Chain A
Amino acid sequence: MIEIKRLSLVNFRNYISLDISFNKKINIFLGNNAQGKTTLLESIYLLAISKSHKTFKDKDLIKFNESFCKVTTELTKDQNQLTLNVVISNEGKKVLVNQVEKRKTSEYIGVFNVVMFAPEDLEIVKGEPINRRKFIDIEIGQISSIYIFDLNQYNRILKQRNEYLKQISQTQKIDYAYLDTITEQLSFYGAKITSNRIKFINKLNKFARNLQKYISSHQEDLYINYLSNYQLKDNINQQQIFQLYKKNYQRDIIKGVTKLGIHKDDIRFIVNDIDVSNFGSQGQQRTTALAIKLALIDFVKEETNHYPIVLLDDVLSELDDNRQTQLLDCIKDKCQTFVTSTNISGIKKELIDKSDIFVIENARITKEKGEKYGKQ
């Protein structure tokens, strides 16, 4: 069991200084828009992943006109007490576990995991392929630092290859030994990443399918299909992928860009034999988005032996009663949960009774009953 006991922020976004303790499994942050509710979830996300879910520029997290920001948490993991720090300054980002600096993110990631539910989740189902690839990469990355390494290597060599292809079209000179070399490297990492993504989707499928059935009262059957751009049936290996690239050398050289690869992969969500992203109803799309996120909770548990911390950013009021109930069933007594909401009236009483409510106004916090936000 992982539980955050304390969270403190210094110069983080609009917070000058904040220190809160948590005693309950469910914690609700209540307040109007732009008061700093999501920032609290963002800080927890940052502690888990060492990146923000909102921005890829770390410096955006520093309060305006300040030179650094610091996020600290004390948490218990089974019987152990852990202190995590993330400090961002002009010199970059430092992460510390129990005051010891971890120079590589791979030594840091995975101390605890988070699953975040946000209104943008619907984009995983409805949006562009890049949203789905980002989803996959973040979730596998949370449990495998080797995957992050492979992905970085792939992206770097892809950049080199595209630049080289551009130079070929400019100079009309081709060094096939070099093109072969970088293509082999691309194939090596492409093969590894493809296998890991397929493995991940297969695991997610197993959980998501049951959840979709459950949420839809056995009306909907979900199947997630991984569309690898390599289109290899089975036996995904470096040699086969290398041959595919070789066949396309002329096309790549003419276009000056690498057309084939994991950067073109996608996933399809099939509900009752139809592609829900393009042809599903609004309701089916919402259920699918919820099911795959809930499936992540089981996935993290299976992979790491610990349930993740769940972050619900402004989603409860968007879910109908039935979907809220399913969500609650999945996190009940298993995951410590942090919820943001502008109004408590849309949240089920069962959940409110079990929670601590923190009211947030202008980056300040009071622990109170929250009457003016609808609590009776």
Chain B
Amino acid sequence: MQYPDSISKLIESFSKLPGIGPKSAERLAFYVANKMKEEDVLNFAKSLVAVKRELMKCPICGNLTDKNPCVICRDTNRDKSIIAVVEENKDVIAIEKMKEYRGLYHVLNGVISPINGVGPQDINIPSLLERLKNDEIKEVILATNTTIEGESTAMYIAKLLEKIDISVTRIARGLPVGGGLEYADEVTLLKALEGRREIK
């Protein structure tokens, strides 16, 4: 038996989401059809459209925003001499939660990965270089992930900035705070050791 057209379309839509396979998509679609209240479905549909129509990428930092420029870029109290370069929007949220960082951001929207067809020009690197022409900026913090692609991307940006008079730093890797050495795996421990610093 074939599914009714509306159900198969919904299944197809759900399976376009990351982490949702055909089985999960099917489960979600039937949940919507059988269990969800019409009001909830309408709200869901509205928010789906809204995030696409009302949100945009900040033309300065690339972060997702409903204002142009975004709240962080327009905030006059922030330290405009530092930019943290991150992979995704959710990394901005993570750093913001800390409430300690007062600088600006630059969201790359991905990492360089030829296997996935993403070259250096396909992520927000050109706009970063453009931003750095501003003399106000003194430091760039490369806060991409510690995956091999995150490392390549950080190293690549560092290379591009070699001849520019801006300090370029990379976030540290190592032990989780409050964790004992005995619980760390060998690779993390090695990185912590390599990244040790003098205290005397």
Taken together as a complex, chains A and B put the C-alpha atoms of A180 and B119 apart, in Å, by: 14
Contacts of B5 in A (CB 8 A): none
| B119 engages A175 (CB within 8 Å) | yes
Q: Which of A160-198 contact B (CB under 8 A)?
A: 160-161, 163-164, 167, 175, 177-178, 180-182, 184-185
Q: Which of B106-164 contact A (CB under 8 A)?
A: 112-115, 119-120, 148-149, 151-152, 155-156, 159-160
Contacts of A175 in B (CB 8 A): 119-120
Told that A157-B148, A159-B115 touch, could you supply 19 new A-B pairs with CB distance under 8 A?
A104-B185, A106-B186, A144-B186, A145-B185, A145-B186, A146-B186, A146-B190, A149-B186, A153-B148, A156-B148, A160-B148, A164-B114, A167-B114, A178-B112, A178-B119, A181-B156, A184-B155, A185-B152, A185-B155
Chief secondary structure at chain B's binding surface: helix
Residue count of chain B within 8 Å CB distance of chain A: 18
Taken together as a complex, chains A and B put the C-alpha atoms of A107 and B156 apart, in Å, by: 32
What 10 pairs between A and B have smallest CB-CB spacing? A163-B114, A164-B114, A181-B156, A106-B185, A177-B159, A181-B155, A149-B187, A145-B186, A156-B148, A163-B115
Taken together as a complex, chains A and B put the C-alpha atoms of A161 and B115 apart, in Å, by: 9
| A146 engages B114 (CB within 8 Å) | no
Taken together as a complex, chains A and B put the C-alpha atoms of A132 and B94 apart, in Å, by: 45
Chain B residue nearest to A159 (CB atoms) is B115
27 CB contacts below 8 A, A to B, read A106-B186, A107-B185, A144-B186, A145-B185, A145-B187, A146-B190, A149-B186, A153-B148, A156-B148, A160-B114, A160-B148, A160-B152, A161-B114, A163-B114, A163-B115, A164-B114, A167-B119, A175-B120, A177-B159, A178-B120, A178-B152, A180-B159, A182-B152, A184-B155, A185-B148, A185-B151, A185-B155
Chain B residue nearest to A144 (CB atoms) is B186
Chain A nearest Cβ from B143, distance in angstroms: 17
Contacts of A153 in B (CB 8 A): 148
Contacts of B186 in A (CB 8 A): 106, 144-146, 149
Q: Which of A132-165 contact B (CB under 8 A)?
A: 144-146, 149, 153, 156-157, 159-161, 163-164
Which one of B152, B185, B187, B190 contacts A181 once the chains associate, using CB atoms below 8 Å? B152
Q: Which of A78-126 contact B (CB under 8 A)?
A: 104, 106-107
Contact status of A157 and B152, CB under 8 A, knowing A167-B114, A177-B159: yes
Contacts of A167 in B (CB 8 A): 114, 119
Taken together as a complex, chains A and B put the C-alpha atoms of A159 and B152 apart, in Å, by: 13
Contacts of A164 in B (CB 8 A): 114
Contact status of A146 and B187, CB under 8 A, knowing A163-B114, A178-B112: yes
Taken together as a complex, chains A and B put the C-alpha atoms of A167 and B118 apart, in Å, by: 11
Contacts of A177 in B (CB 8 A): 120, 156, 159-160
